[in-house]
Structures are given as C-alpha cells and as structure tokens.
Structure 1
Amino acid sequence: MGRKAGGLYINPKSLGGLAKPCTKEMVTFLSCLSLNQNKDDKCERQKAQLNACMDAQTGKSKKPWGSINYHLQRLNRGRK
C-alpha cells in the first residue's frame, strides 16, 4: 500500500491558499462564546450566521474534476 517511488505527489494540506468554508463565522461564534462565558443566548446572531453558512455548504458537492494528485498521475502516465 502507498505511493510508487518516483511518482509525483502534492500534499493538498500544505497549500496555504485554500480556505475552509465557514471558518470566519465559526471563529466569531467561538470568540463570542468565550467572551460571554459559554452563554449561548448572548450569541444568537453569530450562531445564526454560522448555521446559515453551514446550510449553504450542504448543497455543494466535491469538485467534479478530481484532485490535483489524480491529474498529476494522469500526466505522469502520458509522459512515459
């Protein structure tokens, strides 16, 4: 199991340019909870924003064209 030696591979987690969805909303909600000693009723607006963002993300599917490593493997096969 694993990758073949000499193959092309990019670790997608090391790419800093890709942002996770709803990160900003989650951070604002958690900071509000921290400021208010975990009292959920004082952070209703932030909670609503986070829920709206998460609900918007459920309809989106994964990229239809595959991962970058899949395409690197395809290019490597054609090169040989």
Structure 2
Amino acid sequence: MGRKAGTIYINPKKYGSLTKPCMKELITFLNCVSLNQSDIDKCVRQKELLNACMDAQATSKRKSWGSINYHLQRLNRGRK
C-alpha cells in the first residue's frame, strides 16, 4: 500500500479551497439568520441569492477531467 518511490504526486487537499463557488452567498445567509434569531422570513433575499447560485452550479455541465494525480501518472508513463 502506498505510492511508488519517484512518482509525481500532488496533494489535492491543498488545492481544495480554490473552488467554493457559493461560499459568499452561504455566509451572508447564515449571518442574516443569526442576526435575526433564526427567523428565515426576514432573510428572503439572501435565501433567493443562495438558491440561485446553487441552481447555477447544479445546471452547469462541466466535464470532469478526473484526478490530477491520474493525469500526472499518465504523462509520466508516456515519458518513460
């Protein structure tokens, strides 16, 4: 178990914080809820913005390229 010596490896957890598309909307919604003592009726605008952002992320048809490490191993095989 483990990686072979001499292979290229990138830790994907290090770069996981780069893509958080709806984080700003989520934070504003949660702040509004906390300021209004969990009264969601007063935070309708923030809730709509969060829902719109989440819907936009769900409908985007991004083709997954797979793991970065998979592609690094593929390139390394071709180099040998």
Report what 2:65 is aligned to: 65
Where is the helix percentage greater, Structure 1 or Structure 2? 2
Task: Normalising by structure 1, report the TM-score.
Answer: 0.81
Larger mean Cα displacement after TM superposition, 1-10 or 18-27: 1-10
Rounded Cα–Cα distance in structure 1 between residues aligned with 2:24 and 2:14:
20
Per-residue Cα deviation, 1:19-59 (whole angstroms, up to 9, x for no partner) = 21111100110111111111100100000000001111112
2:35 pairs with 1:48: no
The whole-number CA distance in structure 2 between the counterparts of 1:15 and 1:57 is 19
Q: Where does the alignment leave 5 or more consecutive residues of structure 1 unmatched? A: none
Residue identity (%): 71
**CA RMSD of superposed structures (Å):** 2.0
- Paired residues in the alignment total 80
Aligned counterparts of 2:17 and 2:36: Cα–Cα separation in 1: 32
Please state whether the residue corresponding to 1:47 is helix, strand or coil: helix
Which letter maps to 1:76?
N
TM-score, normalisation: structure 2: 0.81
Higher mean C-alpha displacement, 4-13 vs 45-54: 4-13
> Runs (4+) of structure 1 moved beyond 6 Å?
none
Aligned residue in 1 for 2:38: 38
